[in-house]
A and B are shown apart, each in its own frame.
Chain A
Amino acid sequence: MTQPHDGAQPVEGGLVAEVEQMTEEQRAEHFAEVAEVVAPDRDIAVDVGQTLLRLQDVTVRFGGLVALDSVSFGIRRGEILGLIGPNGAGKTTCFNAMTGVYRPSSGQVLLEDKPLGKANRHVITQRGIARTFQNIRLFGEMTALENVVVGADARHKTSVLGALLRLPRHHREERQAVDRAMALLEFVGIADRAAEKAKNLPYGYQRRLEIARALATEPKLLCLDEPAAGFNPAEKEELMGLIRTIRDDGYTVLLIEHDMKLVMGVTDRIVVLEFGKKIAEGLPAEIRENPAVIAAYLGVPDDDVA
């Protein structure tokens, strides 16, 4: 075992304390470095606006219940797409159909024009779709850092034999994974609790940790399932900032959210579901004015009814 730290700076208070003592400029520089590690392969600049993921007439049936009824829409590279709808509209089912948790009863999901078909869930992740969960599902007994490294492992190739004998690839991947995971923890703002077990983290930290873990899989599309559930307005504001930064770093984001203010404020386009059907798709301003959406989701103003 080598001694910790490569000698650039003494490990007085560690990185977290160091950042706190930086001047504004140093801090900006530091976070630029962090962003570089967080999103190493940003290919957004070349083909923003191309369709990344497309749902084609996706239907999901559970016995007699039709949870999704031939839903079609596309997600464009580099955008934040909001997926909204009243409770039970099929938002999470839609998520699950995309990430391989359910197989569509008919229709298909295409990632970069190639159908996901019967690919296993972990293969779908490796092809570039990552998600968070509505009800947080972290690996509770692992530390925050270890949770994120599990995400990074999705891209690793070390074999069991390689790990057993600690071959060079294992060392290289471990080093890179830990560096990246620490950068991601800093990026989502929870680096100070990196060594704590996930289950002992405060609720807001757990939500952010889920995002960091999903980002660690280097996704092309990041799906966030109600990431702001249970947040107070200030925390929601912060989260909106984080989601925008993620998009600016080259990720495409699909966002399920109940909070109208958050959805309208952060998304580029919105798809509205009701009873498993798509009832509207468009810019936030259009959605706000759309009578079908207002009736279904935002509620019909009393004076209109009269």
Chain B
Amino acid sequence: MTTHKTPARPSIRERWNSLSRPAQWGILIPLVVLIYFLPWLNPPLLATTGTDFPTAMFDVARYALVAVGLNVVVGQAGLLDLGYVGFFAVGAYVAALFTSPSSSLSKLPYIWTLPLAMAITMIFGVILGTPTLRLRGDYLAIVTLGFGEIIRLIADNVGPLRGQSGFEAVGSDAAGKPFLANAGLWYVLTVTVIIAVLLLVGNLERSRVGRAWVAIREDEDAAEIMGVATYKFKIWAFVIGAAIGGLSGALYAGKLGFVNNQSFDVVTSMLFLAAVVLGGAGNKVGVLLGAVVVAYLPLRFVQIAEYNYLIFGIALIVLMIFRPQGLLGARQRLLARGRQAYQRLLGKGEQISGDSALAAEPTPGGKA
């Protein structure tokens, strides 16, 4: 979303951190306004050929929202979730079931299905998380992969979910009028949702919840011995990630107006994960950037769209060799008053010393 360039050196981030709050707002607000108006500006270099530009931008925004949600699970708490598309699918189906005329359920106004989709995916998050979050690492990844497949197979095989024939006129009201008139408006709605989600997730990050997540990611045993209720906070990470995924799914269903079993396969899960890993797990700006890359490039360069996965595969391998932490390395602020605290203590803002790959001084005897 944001057009931050990949920092060649950490100096860009340092410079950003050294700016005063008003100065940061002075840059952010025009940037956000620019992002909001992108579909109508249709800038010549960015314009997509195959898809109309507002639709392409909506797709990018949808991926960005998914990436922010998945980042809570993978980036913050360090729980490798390969079945995230399952939550996305649940959200989409909730929107479809409660708004499409093809569904036998009673109808709700589309806007109500957004919180409902979040609530229901949260329940799915608890159902998946409770038994599986006792597992770690690879085992957890395999089980979540299975979850994604289960959701897809349910969509394939359970009668009322209508398999491939799917649901039409999702998000339309009784008169058959779609919820929003054009893709540009859907884009605006999604960007607004992303900003709200970013603010809320940011609040969590700068609290004991965010610290618990990062502690779990860094060293789960040590975290527990330091008094972190690891199991509880892992479930929360799953549930919050699920809610954001479900919300994105419901938006997708509403915009497209059609939901069937075809868009929730494992490959989509991998693309979501690729966005997070590519951008930099644990870095909110990073995963937004990753989502833009993963969603936008295939739409912009349709000539190479066939080789999509090949290119992503190679790009990821190259990235993992040269910059394993992603385009922007993990960096989170974990204190609500960190800025003031560091300033009071050291007379200067938080210094970002030696980011992972760029660390100048190795830890002497570190893990001996």
Contacts and interface: CB of A to CB of B under 8 A. Distances in A.
Nearest to B207: A163
Given A153-B227, A171-B336, A145 B347 contact: no
B365 A230 contact: yes
B21 interface: yes
Size bin of chain B's contact surface: 35 or more
Q: Which of B210, B346, B351 has the largest number of chain A CB atoms within 10 A?
A: B346
Interface in A198-254: 199-203, 206, 213-214, 217, 230
Contact of B208 (A100, A143, A158): A158
Interface string B310-354: 000000000000000000001000111111111111111011011
B262 interface: no
A101 B224 CA distance: 10
Interface core residue of A11, A160, A202, A203 (most chain B CB under 10 Å): A160
Given A16-B345, A16-B346, A136 B366 contact: yes
Interface in B265-313: 282
Nearest to B363: A199
A165 B230 CA distance: 22
Interface string B35-51: 00000000000000000
Given A150-B211, A170-B207, A145 B218 contact: no
B204 A163 contact: yes
A26 interface: no
B208 A163 contact: yes
B182 to A, nearest CB: 33
Nearest to B228: A122
B84 interface: no
A229 to B, nearest CB: 8
A14 interface: yes
B211 A195 contact: no
Q: Residue among B207, B214, B221, B225 with the most chain A CB within 10 A?
A: B225
B200 interface: yes
B223 interface: yes
Interface string B225-250: 11111100000100010000000000
Given A122-B228, A182-B345, A230-B368, A141 B330 contact: yes
A42 interface: no
Contacts of B227: 122, 125-126, 151, 153-155, 217
Interface of A: 1-2, 4-5, 11-17, 99-101, 120-122, 125-126, 130-131, 133, 135-143, 145-146, 149-151, 153-156, 158, 160, 163-166, 170-171, 173-175, 178, 182, 185, 191-192, 194-197, 199-203, 206, 213-214, 217, 230
24 contacts: A4-B344, A5-B344, A11-B344, A16-B347, A122-B226, A122-B227, A133-B222, A136-B367, A137-B221, A138-B219, A145-B335, A146-B211, A146-B338, A150-B212, A160-B236, A163-B207, A174-B335, A175-B337, A178-B335, A178-B337, A178-B338, A182-B341, A194-B346, A203-B366
Interface of B: 21, 200, 203-204, 206-212, 214-215, 217-219, 221-230, 236, 240, 282, 330, 334-348, 350-351, 353-354, 359, 361, 363-368
